[in-house]
């Protein structure tokens, strides 16, 4: 057992662009004895780790889990007791559909010190990188952030509630439920509502599909869009071209 105090720091790695990680997150990575990292993080961030740090991939790709959540919880405790400081490096912000709170709750039962470093959530950063404001006067006064797939692998009931509102709707982990999402919004007579789907947001391999509720399924097929992707629904999607051109002019100057 390590002589170091066993502790866990849950760290948000941001949405994908390496530069969108916080200084506090980098400091946590630098001080880690063990880093358990997910599939959605930018692995270039691991360069900040100490040469002595143990790096363990615990994410999933294409539905294949390296570890189940219960195994990750147990691994955090065992590694903390063995080596000291464990950093759990997670994409986006760990407290927004990232199970960060669940992991903290679990390890506290074993006496570990726990810390949290927030990350920039993909739910706001990915639309912003495409010039889509989630709120804008005259277009949207609020926004929903919803998980597309619940623990029971069903579509969230909140999607139907959000479809009745005038708010911008951001759906994470929703590509597998796209047909159901389209059906729900169509039943609210929102076939012409703008929608954007952004795959690998803020990364070099980012892909974007823009359409309406009635056309988006064809666009997804045409552009071969898949997970990981974020779905943005609402009139603010129409602002994308305007903001992108303004940003381009600023860069040129």
Residues designated catalytic: 38, 60, 173
Cβ proximity of 11 and 90 under 8 Å:
yes
Angle between helices 216-223 and 178-187 (to 10 degrees): 160
Q: How far apart are CA 129 and CA 203, in angstroms?
A: 10
Peptide bond into 228 cis (omega under 30): yes
Q: How far apart are CA 2 and CA 83, in angstroms?
A: 5
For the chain, the farthest-separated pair of C-alpha atoms sits apart, in whole angstroms, at 63
Reduce the DSSP state of residue 90 to 3 states and report it: strand
Q: Which tokens sit at 24?
A: 């506090």
Nearest residue to 185 (alpha-carbon basis) of 208, 211, 209, 223? 211
Cβ proximity of 122 and 116 under 8 Å:
no
Residue 205 has a CB neighbour count (10 Å cut-off) of 7
Which sign does the torsion angle of CA 58, 40, 8, 171 carry? negative
């Amino acid at each position: 057992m390590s002589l170091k105090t066993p502790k866990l720091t849950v760290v948000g790695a941001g949405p994908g662009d390496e530069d969108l990680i916080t200084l506090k997150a980098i400091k946590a990575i630098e001080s880690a004895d063990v880093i358990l990292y997910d599939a959605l993080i930018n692995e270039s961030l691991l360069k900040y780790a100490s040469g002595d740090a143990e790096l363990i991939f615990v994410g999933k790709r294409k539905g294949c889990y390296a570890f189940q959540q219960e195994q990750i919880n147990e691994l955090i405790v065992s590694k903390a007791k063995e080596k000291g400081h464990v950093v759990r490096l997670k994409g986006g912000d760990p407290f927004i559909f990232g199970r960060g709170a669940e992991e903290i709750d679990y390890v506290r039962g074993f006496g570990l010190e726990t810390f949290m470093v927030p990350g920039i959530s993909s739910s706001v950063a990915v639309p912003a990188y495409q010039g889509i404001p989630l709120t804008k006067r005259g277009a949207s006064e609020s926004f929903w952030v919803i998980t597309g797939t619940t623990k029971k692998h069903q579509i969230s009931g909140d999607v139907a509630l959000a479809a009745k509102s005038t708010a911008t709707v951001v759906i994470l982990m929703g590509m597998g439920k796209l047909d159901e999402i389209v059906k729900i919004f169509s039943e609210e007579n929102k076939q012409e509502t703008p929608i954007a789907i952004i795959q690998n947001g803020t990364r070099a391999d980012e892909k974007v599909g823009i359409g309406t509720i009635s056309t988006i399924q064809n666009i997804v097929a045409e552009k071969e869009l898949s997970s990981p992707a974020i779905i943005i629904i609402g009139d603010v999607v129409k602002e994308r071209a305007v903001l992108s051109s303004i940003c381009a002019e600023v860069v040129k100057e």
